[in-house]
Structure 1
């Protein structure tokens, strides 16, 4: 049975908020899609705290709406891609991705959903962003790096608040470099934009993080920034063929499995 909408949510060490976050997003599915087959897919990325155990206790509460996938720790990017592939395999007509750190509000989902017939790939952007200063600086560097390398300006290319047509996502994943890049969402955004998708860059609310800890800070953040820049530069040589493959596919229908 195919799904109308899947929400993909990676989770790592979010024991303080994961219960509330799951409740909030499942509530959105129940309210906005009462008669549709929808699902929240949480990828527990090898959490070292009680995140996985809490998710397992929530599963009986939402037997048809919540799916929990436990994996060894592979990083946020790998967890996101694993979630995407899982959603595609379930035949999801639409796939929405967000994070589990309780920094976004469900009401903003409607802004992207309203545009779903106008583009196969829609992004939000954090108009006012509550993150550590170092992260804000490096995000800005990456944003201008995209413009320098690809001639593409995307306000928030790595944002975990995006809506993608399921069939189009399947084609994007086929073009994603292997092994999975550190920040695959950036690659997906660049390919979609270059292939002619109007991403919209819709302003959304970003809240201050009140629980958990940021896993990448200071020198580690600089290191992954350099890694991402290198991966993006190397991908420049492949981009033309990837975009050509995407443009050759006319995606109008949901994935049929």
Structure 2
């Protein structure tokens, strides 16, 4: 039985990272290419540098690589764009990570080995090296989710998650199309509705190249909007 997987990676102004990203993650999709229909999909979210051009050039060398581009809408909208693309193309599994090379492809196999036992396997950034401010943001977010939804989870937003597409399809339509924190809400849905999920520790290093487009003022702005979204989505759960 074929098991088609789409690796979904959003990218914004990642010209400094994109070559290494492709080189590091392409062997993963090669090992798990199913009937040859699996894809490493990088979504260019309206970059102002030549990220997209570099992806398209790399396609000549990497046949399972596919570059998509869209108007800038933020990390969340790019993730959702990729998820919907995987669903449209009849993938069996979706794996999502980010383009800043903070995650380790060598840790993927332990996730893949659990794909039959769990419907989603999600990373837990036990030892984060991306700064105390971001660690505190995640801790605050976990407290908010516990208050709003009664879920106790170790990491809501880790960009390292393997999901069955059938599970993804079950919940993706519950969120607005431009939702800023889709991975947070998907993790919350999975926990709230007692889906078969597993959290695995992953490494998470500091960004090596380029500049992070999501700074603390942006995180704060996203956070304030998310509070309203959380209330709205919780009300839908109760209706």
> Into which bin does the TM-score normalised by the smaller protein fall?
over 0.9
Q: Deviations over 1:203-228 (max 9, x none)?
A: 01111111111122233322222222
Alignment match of 2:221 (pick from 217, 220, 223): 223
Is the CA contact 2:10–2:78 (under 8 Å) kept in the aligned structure 1?
A: yes
Q: Distance in 1 between matches of 2:86 and 2:159?
A: 16
Asked if 1:4 is matched to 2:18, the reply is: no
Aligned position for 2:50 = 50
Q: CA deviation at 1:186?
A: 1.0
Q: Distance in 2 between matches of 1:15 and 1:199?
A: 34
Uncovered stretches (5+) of structure 2, i.e. residues with no partner: none
Is the CA contact 1:41–1:67 (under 8 Å) kept in the aligned structure 2?
A: yes
Relative distance call for 1:34 and 1:152 in structure 2 (3 A) is closer
Q: CA deviation at 1:32?
A: 4.8
Is the CA contact 1:191–1:239 (under 8 Å) kept in the aligned structure 2?
A: no
| SS of equivalent residue, structure 2 residue 204 | coil
Is the CA contact 2:130–2:204 (under 8 Å) kept in the aligned structure 1?
A: no
Q: CA deviation at 1:101?
A: 0.5
Aligned position for 2:237 = 239
Q: Distance in 2 between matches of 1:19 and 1:26?
A: 11
Q: Distance in 2 between matches of 1:135 and 1:166?
A: 29
- Measured on the aligned residues, the alpha-carbon RMSD in Å equals 1.7
TM-score, normalised on structure 1? 0.87
1:76-115 to structure 2, matched below 5 A, reads: 76-115=75-114
TM-score, normalised on structure 2? 0.93
Q: CA deviation at 1:192?
A: 1.5
Q: CA deviation at 1:100?
A: 0.7
Runs of 4 or more off by more than 4 Å in structure 1?
32-36
Q: Distance in 1 between matches of 2:37 and 2:231?
A: 40
Aligned position for 2:186 = 188
| SS of equivalent residue, structure 2 residue 178 | coil
Q: Distance in 2 between matches of 1:77 and 1:34?
A: 28
Alignment match of 1:197 (pick from 195, 198, 208): 195
Q: Deviations over 1:222-257 (max 9, x none)?
A: 22222222211221111245xxxxxxxxxxxxxxxx
Is the CA contact 1:122–1:201 (under 8 Å) kept in the aligned structure 2?
A: yes
Is the CA contact 2:32–2:38 (under 8 Å) kept in the aligned structure 1?
A: no
Q: Distance in 2 between matches of 1:51 and 1:172?
A: 31
| SS of equivalent residue, structure 1 residue 153 | coil
Across the two proteins, how many residue pairs are aligned to each other? 238
